C-alpha cells in the first residue's frame, strides 16, 4: 500500500500555506470578478496556532472542569503535542497493564508519525512490534489477542488504509460479544489511525472514514481535538471493554501543544464537551474541524454584535452524546454541524435527523450541514473542499437570519 | 546476499521455477484399517480409542437427525460433517485447554471436548438455554468453558484471529496453543494470507488445519487454486507443513500431536492439510447433485469412509465386537432424539437479550430503541408472539 515517504512533514508545509492566508500579507486581488465584500477572515488570527481553546498554560489546566473532576488539574503538567500525549498514554497503559501490546506497520522504530517513539526500547520487542504490511491481518490479529482477554492497541498507518480491515472490524470485532452471547468478546481491542486532511494528502492521506464505522453497532468511534483530549480519550478507549476505533487528526499531531497532566486520567467516552457556551446557535463538530468552527464563531461574534454561539465537541462519534446537543439546541433553537468527511451520508446527517426528531418544536430554522464536498479528497483543490471557517461562517449567518 | 532473500545464491541459468514435487500424503492405516508401518501404531488405550469411535458414530447420528429436522422445517439450517468425521482425531491430540477457532464443519471437535448433545440442540433451536442467546444461525457453536471460540459465518476471518490468540497464549507462558480449522475454499480469502504470514513472522504457536474436501459449495478444488493444494503454500510462508490422509484418523492424530509439539516448544505455526471428501451436501440450502454425480459421492463414502476405517482398525485389535455399531448408533440416536425433543419444547430466549451484549452496557441510544420495542410488545403481544419467549 502506498505511503508517503515523509508523512511527518505533511503538516509543516500545510501550516506554512495556511499562514499566507492567515496573515493576509498580500493585497493582490486574485479575481477580477470579486465584488467589494470584505472577506470575513481578514484581520483574524486563524488556525490551531491561534486557538484559544488549547490549554497552553498551567492555569488553564487548573481551571478545566473535567480535569478537576479527575483530580489531575492540580498535579504536575508537561508541555506536549498530540503525538507526545499519545505516546504518554501508551506508556502509561503499558506500565499498568502487562497484557497490553502495541503493534502495526513501522511502530517499532517509533512510527511514521513518532507516536510510539521509545516504547520498544522501554517495553521490549515482544510488546511493541512491527507486523507484516496487512491491515486485515493487523485487525484480525488484534481481535484474536483481545478474545483471550489481552489488551491490543493496533495501529493502521493512515485511516485511508483501514478499509482492508473493514470486514474484521464490522463483521468480527463489533459482533464478537453479541453473537457469542458474551461467551467471548473483543473488548480489549483499540485501533488507532491517523485521519483527516493535512494540506496535501490527496486521496489517500486525508480521509475521514468515521461515518462508515458509525453505522456499526458494537464499535465505538472516538476522535480527539488536542493533546490533553488525546491522552484522556485514548486511555479511556484502551480501557473500555468494547472495541474502539480511535481516529487521530494527523494535522493536530504537532500543532496542538498543551500542558498535559502527567498523571493517569481518562476522559469519558460518549460524552460531548461544550467547549464554548453560547445562547443563540449551537455549532457541533469534532477533531481538527473544531478549530475552523472556533474561527467561524469568532467572525460571527465580531460581525454580529450581541450574538453568542455555543461550540460543542462531540468527541465520540459512536455511541454519540445526543443529549448534550439536544439540550443545547433546545436553548438556542439553531444548529450547524460540520465535518471534513463528504456530506452525502456523513455523520452530520445522522445527528441532524436525530436532533430534528428530538427538538422539532424548538428549531427556528433548518439544520445546516457544512461538510467536505461529495468528491474524493482532492489534492490541489483542498482549500475548496474543506468545510472551512468561511463556509461555516456563511452557514451560521444563514441560520441566524433565516 | 540481498536482504529480501538471504539464502539465495546466484544462478547463470535463466530458469523459471514452475513445479516442485507434490507434497506426499501421510497415512498410518489403509482403507481396511491396517497400520502400514508398525512404528506408526497409535499409542492409544482401548478405552480412549473406543471413546473416539463412539463420538464419530454419535456425530453421525446427530447429523442424520438434525439434517432431517431441517428438512421438516423444525430448525432453519444445518450443516453435516459426513465424510469428515476423522477430524475428531485432531481434537483427541490436543490439550483440552488449547484454544479452537473453527469454520463451521468442526462439530466433532466440540463433541470430543464434551459439548453435550443438549447443548448442540439448544444452539440449533435457538432456545433459552443456547449459550449464544439465540442470536446466530444454527451450527454457530461456541463455548468458553471448552475453549472453543464461537463460530461466525464470514470465511477465514478466524485465521489471523487465531494467530493473535496464539501470540497471547505464548505471552502467558502456559505452553498451550491455538488450532484453527478452515476449508480449502476459505484458504483463497485474503485473511488466509494475512494470518499465515503473521503467524510465521511473529512466532505464534498455532496449528492451521485445512480440511481439503475437494469442494467449496459447488466449486471444485481445480477452480480454487492451481498450486499443489494448500500445503505447498505453507512452505512459501516459512511454515512447517504436512499433508495427511484426512480419512485416516490416526494420521490426523499423529500429525496434530507432532504439530502441537512444534508449536508449543518452538513458538512456531504449523500447517496441516487433511485431504478428504465432502460426502455431505454443502448445507441444507444446497443440493450437491446439481454439480456432482450422486454416484461419485456414493463411491467415495463406500471406498474410503473414515468411520469404516476406524471400525476395521478397532476390530483388527479385537477392541470392537461385530454388531456393536448398531447398538451404539441406536443408543446415540435415542440420546439425540431425547435431547432434540427437550430442546424443541423450550422457549426462545427472553426478549431483553435482543439488546444486551452489543456493548458491555446498553448505551442510551439503544435504551431508547429498547423502550420503543418493549412498548410495542406490550401493546401487540400476539403479533410479537411473546409467549414463545422466556419471561426474564
Please check the confidence at residue B237 and state whether its pLDDT lies above 70: yes
Domain A64-261 fold is: Rossmann fold (3.40.50)
pLDDT of residue B324 exceeding 70: yes
Q: Range with the lowest mean pLDDT among A38-52, A302-316, B166-180?
A: A38-52
| Cβ within 8 Å, pair A183-B164 | no
Q: Do B162 and A144 touch (CB under 8 A)?
A: yes
Distance from C-alpha of A56 to C-alpha of A62, rounded to nearest angstrom = 11
| pLDDT for residue A34 | 58
Q: In whole angstroms, what is the distance from residue A208 CA to residue A197 CA?
A: 8
Residue B195's pLDDT band, with cuts at 50, 70 and 90, is: very high
Of B133, B164, B167, the CB nearest to A181: B133
B392 is annotated as an active-site residue: no
Q: Do B365 and A140 touch (CB under 8 A)?
A: no
Q: Name every chain B residue with its beta carbon within 8 A of the beta carbon of A140.
A: 157, 159-161, 163-164, 191, 194-195
User: Residue A25 pLDDT more than 80?
Assistant: no
CA angle, residues B283, B284, B287, in degrees to nearest 5: 80
The 10s digit of each residue's pLDDT in B243-266 is: 999 999 999 999 999 999 999 999
Chain A nearest C-alpha distance from B108 (Å): 19
Cβ A209 vs Cβ A195: under 8 Å: yes
User: Catalytic pick from B81, B232, B282, B288?
Assistant: B282
Residue range A119-143: mean pLDDT, rounded: 98
Query: Given a cut of 60, is residue B317 above it in pLDDT?
Result: yes
Map out the domains of chain B with their CATH numbers. 25-345 (3.40.50.970), 351-388 (no CATH)
Measure Cα distances from A274 to A27, A244, A271, A277 in Å: 37, 23, 10, 6
CA distance A316 to chain B (A): 12
pLDDT at B273 over 50: yes
| CB nearest to B161's CB, from A143, A179, A182 | A143
pLDDT tens readout for residues B122-175: 999 999 999 999 999 999 999 999 999 999 999 999 999 999 999 999 999 999
Q: Which of A135, A155, A258, A340 is catalytic?
A: A135
Contact B191 A152 (CB under 8 A): no
Instruction: For this complex, say whether ipTM is above 0.85.
Output: yes
Is pLDDT of B280 > 80? yes
- Residues of A within 8 A of B135 (CB-CB) are 178-179, 181
Q: Which residues of A touch B157 (CB under 8 A)?
A: 140, 167-168, 171-172
> Which part of chain A is CATH 3.40.50.920?
2-45+271-400
Put simply, the chain A residues between 178 and 197 with a CB less than 8 A from any chain B CB are 178-185, 187
Q: How many residues does chain B have?
A: 392
Could you tell me what percent of chain B has a pLDDT over 90? 96
SS3 at position B179: strand
Q: What is the pLDDT of residue A38?
A: 80
A135 is catalytic: yes
Residues of B in contact with A176 (CB under 8 A): 150
Using CA atoms, how far residue B346 sits from A300, A382, B62, B253, B350, in Å, is 65, 61, 19, 38, 12
The arithmetic mean of pLDDT across residues A299-318, rounded, is 97
Show Cβ contacts of residue A175 under 8 Å, excluding neighbours closer than 6 positions: A218, B152
Tally: H helices and E strands in chain A = 15, 14
Per-residue pLDDT, A33: 59
Question: Is the confidence at residue A4, as pLDDT, over 50?
Answer: no
User: Pick from A184, A319, A323: which is nearest to B144 by CB?
Assistant: A184
Biggest CA–CA distance in chain A, Å, is 68
Of A148, A182, A270, the CB nearest to B169: A148
Judging contacts by C-beta atoms under 8 Å, the chain B residues touching residue A150 are 168, 171
Length of chain A: 402
pLDDT at residue A40 greater than cutoff 50 = yes
Cα separation, B366 vs B108, whole angstroms: 38
Q: Please judge whether B164 and A242 are an interchain contact, meaning their C-beta atoms are less than 8 angstroms apart.
A: no
Q: Please judge whether B160 and A148 are an interchain contact, meaning their C-beta atoms are less than 8 angstroms apart.
A: no
Place of cell 433553537: A333
Any alpha helices (H) in A279-340, and if so which ranges?
Answer: 289-303, 322-332
How many angstroms away from the CA of B159 is the closest CA of chain A?
8
Measure CA of the first residue to CA of the last residue in chain B; give whole Å: 68
Mean pLDDT over A138-155 rounds to: 98
Would the CB atoms of A183 and B363 count as touching at under 8 Å?
A: no
What pLDDT band is residue A13 in, cutting at 50, 70 and 90?
A: very low
Average pLDDT of B34-50?
Answer: 95
CA distance A134 to B203: 16
pLDDT at A256: 97
Q: Across all residues in chain A, what is the average pLDDT?
A: 93
For residue B385, which phi and psi values (nearest 5 degrees)? Answer: 45, 50
Whole-number Å distance between alpha carbons of B160 and A147: 12
| pLDDT exceeds cutoff 90 at B229 | yes
Report how far residue A156's alpha carbon sits from residue A291's, in angstroms, rounded to the nearest whole number: 25
Q: Residue A184 pLDDT > 70, yes or no?
A: yes
Residue A22: per-residue pLDDT = 41
Cβ-based contacts of A144 with chain B (< 8 Å): 101, 160-168, 178
Identity of the residue in A136, A178, A319 whose CB atom sits nearest the CB atom of B191: A136
Residue A66 a catalytic site member: no
| Integer Cα distance of B154 and A142 in angstroms | 17
Given this model, what pLDDT does residue A18 score?
Answer: 45
Out of A145, A176, A180, name the one closest to residue B164 (CB).
Answer: A145
B162 chain-A contacts, CB cut-off 8 A: 144
Tell me the C-alpha distance between A85 and A88, whole Å. Answer: 5
Average pLDDT rounded to a whole number, residues B192-221: 97
How far are the Cα atoms of A15, B9, B15, B198, B203 from residue B6, in angstroms, in the given order? 44, 9, 20, 20, 19
DSSP class of A101: E
Render pLDDT for A225-277 as a digit per residue (tens, 0 to 9). Answer: 999 999 999 999 999 999 999 999 999 999 999 999 999 999 999 999 999 99
pLDDT at A29: 54
Please pick, among A155, A205, A294, A377, the residue that the annotation labels catalytic.
A205
Predicted pLDDT at A28: 53
Among A181, A230, A72, A83, residue whose Cα is nearest residue B122: A181
Q: Which among A79, A213, A236, A233 has a CA at the least distance from the CA of A156?
A: A213
Per-residue pLDDT band for A31 (boundaries 50, 70, 90) equals low
Residue extent(s) of CATH 3.40.50.970 domains in chain A: 64-261
**pLDDT per position as a tens digit, A44-95:** 999 999 999 999 999 999 999 999 999 999 999 999 999 999 999 999 999 9
Q: What is the percent of chain A with per-residue pLDDT over 90, rounded to a whole number?
A: 89
- Is beta strand B219-220 parallel, antiparallel or unpaired with respect to B215-216? antiparallel
CATH number of the structural domain A2-45+271-400 = 3.40.50.920
Amino acid at each position: 500500500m502506498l505511503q508517503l515517504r515523509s508523512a511527518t512533514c505533511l503538516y509543516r508545509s500545510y501550516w506554512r500555506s495556511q499562514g499566507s492566508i492567515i496573515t493576509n500579507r498580500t493585497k493582490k486581488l486574485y479575481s477580477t470578478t470579486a465584488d467589494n465584500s470584505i472577506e470575513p477572515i481578514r484581520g483574524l488570527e486563524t488556525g490551531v496556532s491561534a486557538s484559544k481553546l488549547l490549554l497552553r498554560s498551567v492555569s488553564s489546566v487548573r481551571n478545566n472542569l473535567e480535569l478537576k473532576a479527575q483530580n489531575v488539574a492540580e498535579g504536575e503538567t508537561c508541555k506536549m503535542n498530540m503525538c507526545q500525549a499519545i505516546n504518554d498514554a501508551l506508556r502509561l497503559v503499558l506500565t499498568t497493564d502487562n497484557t497490553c501490546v502495541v503493534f502495526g506497520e513501522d511502530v517499532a522504530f517509533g512510527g511514521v508519525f513518532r507516536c510510539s517513539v521509545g516504547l520498544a526500547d522501554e517495553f521490549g520487542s515482544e510488546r511493541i512490534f512491527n507486523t507484516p504490511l496487512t491491515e486485515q491481518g493487523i485487525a484480525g490479529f488484534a481481535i484474536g489477542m483481545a478474545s483471550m482477554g489481552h489488551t491490543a492497541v493496533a495501529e493502521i498507518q493512515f485511516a485511508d488504509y483501514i478499509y482492508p480491515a473493514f470486514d474484521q472490524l464490522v463483521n468480527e470485532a463489533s459482533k464478537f460479544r453479541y453473537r457469542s452471547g458474551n461467551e467471548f468478546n473483543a473488548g480489549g481491542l483499540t485501533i488507532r489511525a491517523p485521519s483527516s486532511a493535512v494540506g496535501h494528502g490527496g486521496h489517500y492521506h486525508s480521509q475521514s472514514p468515521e461515518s462508515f464505522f458509525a453505522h456499526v453497532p458494537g464499535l465505538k468511534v472516538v476522535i480527539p481535538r488536542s493533546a490533553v483530549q488525546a491522552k484522556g480519550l485514548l486511555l479511556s478507549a484502551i480501557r473500555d471493554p468494547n472495541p474502539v476505533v480511535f481516529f487521530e487528526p494527523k494535522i493536530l499531531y504537532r500543532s496542538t501543544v498543551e500542558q498535559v497532566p502527567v498523571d493517569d486520567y481518562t476522559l469519558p467516552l460518549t460524552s460531548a464537551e461544550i467547549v464554548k457556551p453560547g445562547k443563540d446557535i449551537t455549532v457541533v463538530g469534532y477533531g481538527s474541524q473544531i478549530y475552523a468552527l472556533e474561527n467561524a464563531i469568532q467572525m460571527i461574534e465580531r460581525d454580529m454584535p450581541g450574538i453568542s454561539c455555543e461550540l460543542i465537541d462531540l468527541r465520540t462519534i459512536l455511541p454519540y452524546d445526543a443529549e448534550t446537543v439536544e439540550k443545547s439546541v433546545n436553548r438556542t433553537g439553531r444548529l450547524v454541524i460540520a465535518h471534513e468527511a463528504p456530506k452525502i451520508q456523513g455523520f452530520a446527517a445522522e445527528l441532524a435527523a436525530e436532533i430534528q426528531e428530538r427538538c422539532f418544536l424548538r428549531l427556528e430554522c433548518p439544520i445546516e450541514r457544512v461538510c467536505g464536498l461529495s468528491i474524493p479528497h482532492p489534492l490541489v483543490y483542498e482549500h475548496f473542499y474543506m468545510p472551512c471557517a468561511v463556509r461555516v461562517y456563511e452557514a451560521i449567518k444563514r441560520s441566524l437570519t433565516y | 546476499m540481498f536482504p529480501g532473500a538471504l539464502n539465495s545464491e546466484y544462478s547463470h541459468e535463466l530458469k523459471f521455477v514452475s513445479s516442485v514435487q507434490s507434497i506426499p500424503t501421510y497415512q498410518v492405516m489403509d482403507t481396511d484399517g491396517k497400520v502400514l508401518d508398525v512404528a506408526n501404531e497409535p499409542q492409544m488405550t482401548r478405552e480412549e480409542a473406543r471413546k473416539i469411535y463412539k463420538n464419530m458414530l454419535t456425530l453421525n447420528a446427530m447429523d442424520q437427525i438434525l439434517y432431517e429436522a431441517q428438512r421438516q422445517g423444525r430448525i432453519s439450517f444445518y450443516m453435516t460433517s459426513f465424510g469428515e468425521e476423522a477430524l475428531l482425531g485432531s481434537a483427541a491430540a490436543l490439550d483440552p485447554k488449547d484454544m479452537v477457532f473453527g469454520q463451521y464443519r468442526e462439530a466433532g471437535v466440540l463433541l470430543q471436548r464434551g459439548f453435550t448433545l443438549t447443548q448442540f440442540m439448544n444452539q440449533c433451536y435457538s432456545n433459552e438455554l443456547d449459550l449464544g442467546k439465540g442470536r446466530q444461525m444454527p451450527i454457530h457453536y461456541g463455548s468458553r468453558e471448552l475453549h472453543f471460540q464461537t463460530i461466525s459465518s464470514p470465511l477465514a476471518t478466524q485465521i489471523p484471529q487465531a494467530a493473535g490468540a496464539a501470540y497471547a497464549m505464548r505471552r502467558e507462558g502456559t505452553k498451550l496453543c491455538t488450532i484453527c480449522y478452515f476449508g480449502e475454499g476459505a484458504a483463497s480469502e485474503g485473511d488466509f494470507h494475512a494470518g499465515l504470514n503473521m503467524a510465521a513472522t511473529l512466532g505464534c504457536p498455532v496449528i492451521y488445519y485445512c480440511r481439503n474436501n475437494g469442494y467449496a459449495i459447488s466449486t471444485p478444488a481445480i477452480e480454487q487454486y492451481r498450486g499443489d493444494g494448500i500445503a505447498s503454500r505453507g512452505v512459501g510462508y516459512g511454515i512447517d507443513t504436512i499433508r495427511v490422509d484426512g480419512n485416516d484418523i490416526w494420521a490426523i492424530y499423529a500429525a496434530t500431536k507432532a504439530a502441537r509439539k512444534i508449536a508449543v516448544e518452538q513458538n512456531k505455526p504449523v500447517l496441516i492439510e487433511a485431504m478428504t471428501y465432502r460426502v455431505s451436501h454443502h448445507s441444507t440450502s444446497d443440493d450437491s447433485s446439481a454439480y456432482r454425480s450422486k454416484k461419485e459421492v456414493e463411491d467415495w463414502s463406500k471406498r474410503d469412509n473414515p468411520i469404516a476405517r476406524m471400525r476395521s482398525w478397532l476390530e483388527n485389535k479385537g477392541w470392537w465386537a461385530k454388531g456393536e455399531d448398531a447398538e451404539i448408533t441406536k443408543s446415540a440416536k435415542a440420546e439425540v432424539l431425547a435431547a432434540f425433543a427437550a430442546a424443541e419444547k423450550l422457549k426462545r430466549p427472553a426478549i431483553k437479550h435482543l439488546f444486551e451484549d452489543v456493548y458491555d452496557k446498553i448505551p442510551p441510544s439503544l435504551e431508547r430503541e429498547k423502550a420503543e420495542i418493549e412498548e410495542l410488545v406490550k401493546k401487540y403481544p400476539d403479533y410479537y408472539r411473546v409467549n414463545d419467549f422466556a419471561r426474564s
